[in-house]
Structure 1
Amino acid sequence: MTVSILAYDEKTGSLGGAAMTGSLCVGGWVLRGTAESGLSASQGTAPSTLWGEEVLARMKAGEPAAEAVAEVTAPDTGRAHRQLAALDPAGRSGHFTGAESVPVCGALEGPGVVVSGNMLADWAVIRAVRDTYLAGAGALHDRLMAALVAGAQAGGDSRGLLSAALLVVSRSAAPLTLRIDRSAKPLEDLADLLAAARAEPYYGWTRVVPTLDDPHRAPDLVEPEALPLPETGTE
């Protein structure tokens, strides 16, 4: 099973993605993106990292996600074995599931979110991921983690999970990209890694590195009171 979620946080303008699978290196294979291009999740029996990169380039050039997905997937003669989801910088989504994808397979959308999966125990898996995210409150990264946990609890992977990943990008903050590539408990390990990334001293360092909105930011150029506070996961 591979499940991915891409989401747009309307309050902050941040984009986030998360994924989990019973195989290795789900972050490297599936999740890509920047605040300027949006996010992509390319997966399947024979996933195309080329799809993931091309759909980002199209969205960065201004194509809506659904149109970009259609343009990327249509010419590929191997598309029956692949899935692609995309979320553009405005929070619009698009998705494709090839006809030969391992069932249960498909995608579900919601306001500012798209969830894709294949080799699912049941449709309940991606429904749980989407609905848990939409019902959540607080920081984007916390909502994404909760969505993955809900998906695993709703059926997960008969092979067991081996890898999980989280990606959050924003114009006003450093990218957060976390990967657990091979573990007997990847969701727990990802949650531990996220907690460390949101704590000092690492978090303090990320608050003084350049961002799209402040490309010259450096420690001696930032007033302490101007630094963003860490998101705590509560409203």
Structure 2
Amino acid sequence: MMGTLKNWLGGFDQPVYPIGPLTLPTPKGKEDKSNDVEVVEFLDKMRLRSGKRSLIYISFGTFFVPSEIEKVWAVIEALITSETPFIFAHASPLLSVTEEKKAWINNSGVGLELSWSPQQVILEHEVTGWFLTHGGWNSIMEAFESKIPLIIWPINGDQPLNAANLTLIHKAAFELIEVRGGEDGTKPLLRFKDTEYTPSFTIEGVKEEFIGVLEKIKGEEGQVVRKNFEKLSEEMGKSWHDGGESNSNFNDFLAKFVDCI
């Protein structure tokens, strides 16, 4: 990917030095988690209840939220009905969650609702198995850092492309289709042109699709996706090793603009 970008930008007759991924280091050891006690206690409880990699972490970030909130509730209903542990984080003020819905989640026995979440703590915990996200680049990078595979609910911007790249090319994620909305989102998809499947984009369609995804992540297909995602994560990490693409590009940049000073 970086090679393609470098070739394209090179046409502007300017030097290009692609480097990445750039992420904050994952906290290790006995870092202070005093502010995250409730979250860690819930994670530990679900680990004892359901085992490793059993929890689904849901977060759409701050700026992008689903336009049809009822589709979010359909997904959460499927999680509660199937007794799948989950954390639902809704940091965005654009995503309205009533007190009734908060109580529904928190009293379910398997769910925890948070207006803000310590994302690294959650992704690094051994109970966390999947990350349901809008698929923005920052979220994807954090998932790669923790090697937690994705269930993607793309909303706008680069997210549909990111989702298609990971699901169709790398087979390293699951994409939710029925959650789409709006005139552009509900246009016929070329990927289904030779199949009998036609998305309904309804609440029932969302529920049925997500139940199917829950079955897949617990089976052989889920294991394949997880291994592919972990492989991508490892390959991205190697780019900063000696001789790696990012390492080499950064050293070239330093040699041209810093070392000469």
Q: TM-score, normalised by structure 2?
A: 0.27
Structure with the higher helix share, 1 or 2: 2
Structure with the higher strand share, 1 or 2: 1
Q: TM-score, normalised by structure 1?
A: 0.30
